[in-house]
Structure 1
Amino acid sequence: NMQQVALAESGPLSDSVLLRVVAVGINFRDVLNVLGTYPGDAGPPGSDCAGIVSASGSLVKHLAVGTSVLGQVPGCLGSHAACPWYTLEVKPGCLSFYDAASLVTTFATVDASYHGIPLCNTSVCLVHAAAGGVGLTAVSALRGLGVRVCTTAGSLPKRGFLRSLGILHCASSRSLQFASIIAHHHDHGCAHVLNSLTSPGMVHASASTLQQGGSFVELG
Structure 2
Amino acid sequence: MKAYRFDSFDNLDALRQREEADPRPQRGEVLVRVRAVSLNFRDIAMVLGRYPRACRPGLIPASDAAGEVIEVGEGVTAFRPGDRVMGAFHPRWFGGEMPSTILADSYGAENDGWLAQLKAVSQEAIVRLPDGLSYEEGSTLPCAGLTAWNALTGATPIRAGHSVLIQGSGGVSIFALQLARMVGATVIATTSSAGKVERLKALGAAAVVNYADDPEWGKAVRKLAGGRGVDRVVEVGGPGTIGQSLRAVALGGEIVSVGFLSTDNPGIDFFALKASGASIRNVAVGDRAGLIEMTRAIAMTGLKPVIDRVFDFDAAREAFAYLETGAQFGKIVIRV
Asked whether 1:95 is paired with 2:108, we answer no
- Bigger relative CO (Cα 8 Å, ≥ 6 apart): 2
Q: Which residue of 1 aligns with 2:160?
A: 121
C-alpha distance 91-112 of structure 1, shift in aligned 2 (>3 A): same
What amino acid maps onto 1:133 in structure 2? Answer: G
What amino acid maps onto 1:26 in structure 2? Answer: L
C-alpha distance 164-111 of structure 1, shift in aligned 2 (>3 A): closer
* In structure 2, distance between residues paired with 1:35 and 1:208: 30
Q: Which residue of 2 aligns with 1:40?
A: 54
* In structure 2, distance between residues paired with 1:115 and 1:216: 12
* TM-score, normalised via structure 1 length: 0.88
C-alpha distance 118-4 of structure 1, shift in aligned 2 (>3 A): closer
TM-fit CA distance, 1:37: 5.8
Task: Identify which range, 53-62 or 18-27, moves more after superposition.
Answer: 53-62
* In structure 1, distance between residues paired with 2:118 and 2:75: 20
Alignment of 1:160-199 (within 5 A): 160-174=198-212, 175-185=214-224, 186-198=226-238
* In structure 2, distance between residues paired with 1:194 and 1:11: 40
Task: Identify which range, 81-90 or 28-37, moves more after superposition.
Answer: 28-37
Q: From 239, 248, 252, give the equivalent of 1:213.
A: 252
Determine if contact 1:2/1:34 at 8 Å carries over to the other structure: no
* In structure 2, distance between residues paired with 1:44 and 1:10: 13
What amino acid maps onto 1:23 in structure 2? Answer: A
Alignment of 1:3-42 (within 5 A): 3-33=16-46, 38=51, 39-41=53-55
TM-fit CA distance, 1:3: 2.1
Alignment of 1:17-166 (within 5 A): 17-33=30-46, 38=51, 39-41=53-55, 43-72=59-88, 74=107, 75-116=113-154, 117-129=156-168, 131-166=169-204
Q: From 8, 12, 15, give the equivalent of 1:2.
A: 15
Determine if contact 1:128/1:152 at 8 Å carries over to the other structure: yes
C-alpha distance 32-210 of structure 1, shift in aligned 2 (>3 A): closer
* In structure 2, distance between residues paired with 1:93 and 1:109: 21
What amino acid maps onto 2:221 in structure 1? Answer: I
Alignment partner of 1:5: what SS? strand
Task: Identify which range, 27-36 or 205-214, moves more after superposition.
Answer: 27-36
C-alpha distance 3-210 of structure 1, shift in aligned 2 (>3 A): closer
C-alpha distance 35-178 of structure 1, shift in aligned 2 (>3 A): closer
For 1:42-79, what per-residue CA distance to the aligned partner results, in whole angstroms no more than 9, with x for missing partners? 54212211111122222321211221111247421111
What amino acid maps onto 2:236 in structure 1? Answer: S
| Pairwise CA RMSD | 2.2
Q: State percent identity of aligned pairs.
A: 27
C-alpha distance 122-71 of structure 1, shift in aligned 2 (>3 A): same
Alignment partner of 2:136: what SS? helix
Determine if contact 2:218/2:246 at 8 Å carries over to the other structure: no
* In structure 1, distance between residues paired with 2:122 and 2:88: 10
* In structure 1, distance between residues paired with 2:222 and 2:43: 38
C-alpha distance 34-176 of structure 1, shift in aligned 2 (>3 A): closer
* In structure 2, distance between residues paired with 1:198 and 1:95: 31
Alignment partner of 1:4: what SS? strand
For 1:150-198, what per-residue CA distance to the aligned partner results, in whole angstroms no more than 9, with x for missing partners? 1101211122321233423211233444323233331332111111224
C-alpha distance 125-22 of structure 1, shift in aligned 2 (>3 A): same
Alignment partner of 1:134: what SS? helix
Alignment partner of 2:19: what SS? coil
